[in-house]
Amino acid sequence: MRSIDHWINGTTVPSTSGNTSPVYNPATGEVQAQVGLASVAEVDNAVAVAKTAFKTWRSSSLSKRAEVMFKFHELVLSHRVEIAELVSIEHGKVPSDAAGELARGIENIEFACGIPQLMKGSYSEQVSTGVDVYSIKQPLGVVAGITPFNFPAMVPMWMFANAIATGNTFILKPSEKDPSVSMLMAQLLKEAGLPDGVFNVVQGDKVSVDRILSHPDIAAVSFVGSTPIAKYIYSTGTANGKRVQALGGAKNHMVVLPDADIDMAADAAVSAGYGSAGERCMAISVVVAVGDVADKLVPAIAARLPKLKVGPGTDPTAEMGPLITREHRDKVASYITNAPGEGATIVVDGRENDLPQEGFFLAPSLIDNVKPGMKAYDEEIFGPVLTVTRVATYEDAVQLVNDHQYGNGTAIFTRDGGAARQFQFDIQVGMVGINVPIPVPVAYYSFGGWKASIFGDSNMYGPAGIEFFTRTKTITSRWPDPSTSSVDLGFPRTR
Ligand code: NAD
């Protein structure tokens, strides 16, 4: 059985804790590897290495850091297929989803290539006679990233590209469910010329996370995952004096107004609801059908589902893969099981399928007449189950979205520009799409939800990422009275 190690100080390091966790192939249900789970001492070793590496890495020039990022970008592009295959075999994503994830991750490396520009400070001359004030950005030290299973390549890139480029050293604690991609990225960073100890991977579970949160030499923690854990990470990390950004779960609504293009909305609902088997924090989970639009929209979505090809990532024609584990698949299926008892209507039942039962497959499901108070509405399902809530008016739709505990992403489908503009004004959600179902911002903006989808006030990547991984130093300077200088400039000096 293959074992998956840590990456510390530029090389693989096997875990010595004796604790391991199985890594499945979700398409077959087989255990394909065991990942070693770090003990407290193993985390401490990685942090000590990163702390030593920080001394030299923070002094490296901006052009050297940009050069490493450019080279890493090149290497990731040339290993695109290999990375996507690793994502696919451990996560279960079909090739198009794995390639899409990588493309959105690569944007963050491109952004970090501009680090000389991004690290610019500011300068005010003559704030008082002979006095200047300027500010510079400096790295924090050793910083850590704790990432979820659903984007094993992209979410780490959201964090480490900016963290390293700004001069920090980094400890990545990837999800124990699909840890191999992080090891390949570590190798590529080394090949790109990153000095040993700047990027380290500690495989682990709660033991390593808790050590990261309490370690006195870790300055900041960047987290993406479910809401209960995000809340825990934020409260524990900040109580220990760390800078923390923590992004949590989601329940994204797609509001469809009566004037929307039905085919466009149905296509969007299918790709955004079932892409990556619904295991995306920006997946559309609820279609909010305004007025009588549901009468046309629900049949249009239902008609598309039998054509959606579900299969393993090894099948290049598959459009949707399995879920991450058997337990998660069964939990997602339970929302379908419970729906009729709560008063909802199952339109398409994904439990009825002829997919290989050893794999963690669940075909797409569509549930109509879902309302607040039902589990399928209130909770994050995180699977290929799309629900429909029918409301009478635009105001009812806005109220529904704003009353939900989550506020990660949302979208509106309409031909009416005024209605769309009003929606972007009214809606209490961090990322909004207008006829765009998954409005994940490009890497030169920043990513972040509102309400229970985020803890703290720091968004991820882009300008917010540069802010998060640096601190400002402001200098006020005055030079001795030039008239006392022995250097003769040949003309009178002014102050
Ligand atoms: P998760 O919260 O279970 O795990 C995330 C990380 O936390 C993993 O590295 C895991 O090892 C660690 N962890 C898990 N339980 C822990 C505990 N009790 N104590 C300490 N650490 C713990 O999330 P997941 O299931 O891997 O990912 C799916 C979730 O992530 C969904 O809720 C999804 O919405 C969310 N997510 C959010 C975003 C976003 O940007 N807002 C992006 C991707 C995923």
* Ranges in the chain annotated CATH 3.40.309.10: 252-434
Q: Which atom of ligand 1 is nearest to the CA of 249?
A: 34
Do strands 243-247 and 122-128 pair parallel, antiparallel, or not at all (unpaired)? unpaired
The tokens for 328 are 């998660």
Handedness of CA 200, 44, 465, 456 (dihedral sign): positive
Whether the per-residue pLDDT at 495 is higher than 60: the answer is no
Specify the residue with its C-alpha closest to ligand 1, atom 24.
148
Average pLDDT of the segment spanning 420-441:
98
Handedness of CA 459, 464, 469, 472 (dihedral sign): negative
User: 149 CA distance to ligand 1 centroid (A)?
Assistant: 7
Residue in this structure with the two tokens 């589902």, named with its chain if needed: 305
Single out the residue of 206, 210, 226 nearest to residue 218, CA to CA. 210
Residue in this structure with the two tokens 């840590």, named with its chain if needed: 6
| pLDDT tens, position by position, 182-222 | 999 999 999 999 999 999 999 999 999 999 999 999 999 99
| pLDDT tens, position by position, 383-401 | 999 999 999 999 999 999 9
Q: Is the CB of 276 under 6 A from ligand 1?
A: no
Q: Which atom of ligand 1 is nearest to the CA of 146?
A: 9
What's residue 489's pLDDT? 75
Residue in this structure with the two tokens 């990390």, named with its chain if needed: 237
Q: Which of 66, 98, 281, 370 is catalytic?
A: 281
| pLDDT tens, position by position, 270-303 | 999 999 999 999 999 999 999 999 999 999 999 9
pTM: 0.97
352-361, 403-412, 448-457: range with lowest mean pLDDT: 352-361
* Ranges in the chain annotated CATH 3.40.605.10: 2-248+453-475
Q: Which atom of ligand 1 is nearest to the CA of 380?
A: 32
Handedness of CA 169, 175, 177, 181 (dihedral sign): negative
The answer to whether residue 113 is catalytic is no
Please state at what angle helix 62-78 crosses helix 154-165, rounded to 10 degrees.
160
User: 472 CA distance to ligand 1 centroid (A)?
Assistant: 30
Average pLDDT of the segment spanning 339-349:
98
228-232, 243-247, 482-486: range with lowest mean pLDDT: 482-486
3-state secondary structure of 127: strand
| pLDDT tens, position by position, 13-50 | 999 999 999 999 999 999 999 999 999 999 999 999 99
Query: With contact defined as beta carbons under 8 Å apart, do 50 and 218 qualify?
Result: no
What's residue 470's pLDDT? 98
| pLDDT tens, position by position, 98-143 | 999 999 999 999 999 999 999 999 999 999 999 999 999 999 999 9
Which are the contacts of 430, defined by CB distance < 8 A and separation ≥ 6?
407, 408, 409, 448, 449, 450, 453, 454, 459
Q: Which amino acid is at 196?
A: D
Structure confidence at residue 326 as a pLDDT band (50, 70, 90)? very high
Structure confidence at residue 353 as a pLDDT band (50, 70, 90)? confident
Whether the per-residue pLDDT at 483 is higher than 80: the answer is no
Whether the per-residue pLDDT at 316 is higher than 80: the answer is yes
Averaged pLDDT of the chain: 97
User: 112 CA distance to ligand 1 centroid (A)?
Assistant: 25
What's residue 482's pLDDT? 72
User: 386 CA distance to ligand 1 centroid (A)?
Assistant: 21
What angle (nearest 5°) sits at the alpha carbon of residue 453, between those of residues 39 and 409?
A: 130
What's residue 486's pLDDT? 77
* 252-434, CATH topology level: Aldehyde Dehydrogenase; Chain A, domain 2 (3.40.309)
Q: Is the CB of 379 under 6 A from ligand 1?
A: no
| pLDDT tens, position by position, 230-239 | 999 999 999 9
Specify the residue with its C-alpha closest to ligand 1, atom 9.
175
Q: Is the CB of 234 under 6 A from ligand 1?
A: no
Domain 2-248+453-475 has CATH 3.30.9.10: no
Single out the residue of 412, 431, 415 nearest to residue 423, CA to CA. 412
